[in-house]
Amino acid sequence: MNTVNTVNTPVTRAGEARWALSNAGALVGRSLRHITRSPEQLMLMLFLPTMLLLMFRYLFGGAIATGGMSYVNYVIAGNIAVSVTFNATATSVAVAGDMLEGIVERFRSMPVSSPAVLVGHVAASLARNLVSIAVMVGVGLLAGFRPVAGPGQWLAALGLLVLFTLGVSWIAVLLGVLAKTVEGASGLSMPLVFVPYVSSAFVPPGTMPEALRVIAENQPVTPMVDAVRALFLDQPVGDSAWLAVAWWGGLTLVAVPLAGVLFRRRSAPGSR
């Protein structure tokens, strides 16, 4: 007990920023470690994208007409979208666990910038989803997916998917913060999983009943999926890329500060 308090102390504003950054770094490391230790996260990261792709390629694919384009070429972008929203449930659960099981409270009694814990979860979510996307593309290639994108198009598609993943992850964080129980967190984020279903992810909206078609054509997943699909297949992207950036950039810009405010409110009931 004679090692004295040699903890560096943030005094200036810049010092505080460095402190928060260092905290976030440590907490990103923590969340990344969780991935390999959590069977649920591993399943969602590796098994789910494989199954989704095989299911839509071989089980449903034969019965869905997508106007000349092979179904696996059509559906892979949509499958990625569903995989991202599925993975979001794990993020909500992890955030709720930290909120409700004492970890966040411990951080609050420490000189720690506690919202950094949320940054850790989003970074881990991004890492998991990047692996999922790689798995999806890999399995897709084996199952007949034939992308014709150049390097620039791949990069653009990846950029869009990263933006989409960040947006969905922050929404998942938000729901995790709001959950009253850890089990409740997965229920709360479950509707996210179904958002891509009513979009152009699996079938062209033109084939849907009028009311659904209007929803599908005007919801944020559709331009993202359309743009990624067009980039993969070297087809004209049209407005979809910009719409996707506007939607998901906008949703992220709303979700991040909202998650921060709610985090502070929920982690410190009736106090600071």
Partner 1 sequence: MNGEHAIEVTGLRKAYGSVPVLDGIDLRVERGSMLALLGPNGAGKTTTVRILSTLLRPDAGTARVHGFDVERQAGAVRRSIGVTGQHTAVDGLLTGYENLVLMGRLFRLPGRAARSRATELLERFGLAEAASRQAKTYSGGMRRRLDLAISLIAAPPVLFLDEPTTGLDPRSRNAVWETVRELLTGGVTVLLTTQYLEEADQLADRVAVVDGGRIVADGTPARLKQQVGAELLELAFADPGAFHLAREILGQDGPRADERALRVSVAVEHPKDVRRILDLLAERGVDPDRLGVEKPTLDDVFLTLTGAHAGGGQ
Residues that bind partner 1 (CB under 8 A): 1-10, 19, 22-23, 25-27, 29-30, 33-34, 37-38, 101-103, 105-112, 268, 270-272
Nearer to partner 1, 38 or 70 (CB): 38
Instruction: Report residue 57 as tokens.
Output: 């390629």
Nearer to partner 1, 8 or 218 (CB): 8
Nearer to partner 1, 25 or 159 (CB): 25
Nearer to partner 1, 146 or 265 (CB): 265
CA 121 from centroid of its chain's CA atoms: 10
Buried b (16+ CB within 10 A) or exposed e, 81-108: bbbbbbbbbbbbbbbbbbbbeeebeebe
Rounded to the nearest whole angstrom, what is the least distance from the CB of residue 29 to partner 1 in the complex?
7
Rounded to the nearest whole angstrom, what is the least distance from the CB of residue 24 to partner 1 in the complex?
10
Rounded to the nearest whole angstrom, what is the least distance from the CB of residue 114 to partner 1 in the complex?
10
Q: How far apart are CA 141 and CA 132, in angstroms?
A: 14
| CB within 8 Å of 77: residues ≥ 6 apart | 201, 225, 226, 228, 229, 232
Nearer to partner 1, 236 or 271 (CB): 271
Rounded to the nearest whole angstrom, what is the least distance from the CB of residue 272 to partner 1 in the complex?
6
Rounded to the nearest whole angstrom, what is the least distance from the CB of residue 21 to partner 1 in the complex?
11
Instruction: Identify how many contiguous H helices and E strands the chain contains and give both numbers.
Output: 11, 0
Q: How far apart are CA 129 and CA 163, in angstroms?
A: 12
Rounded to the nearest whole angstrom, what is the least distance from the CB of residue 60 to partner 1 in the complex?
36
Instruction: Report residue 225 as tokens.
Output: 């999926």
Helix H or strand E encompassing 35: helix 13-37
Nearest Cα neighbor of 44 from 78, 88, 79 is 88
Nearer to partner 1, 38 or 50 (CB): 38
Nearer to partner 1, 6 or 62 (CB): 6
Contact 130, 46 (CB under 8 A): no
Contact 82, 196 (CB under 8 A): yes
Please identify which residue in the block is written with the tokens 């729901």. Answer: 175
What are residue 162's phi and psi, to 5 degrees? -65, -45
Rounded to the nearest whole angstrom, what is the least distance from the CB of residue 42 to partner 1 in the complex?
12
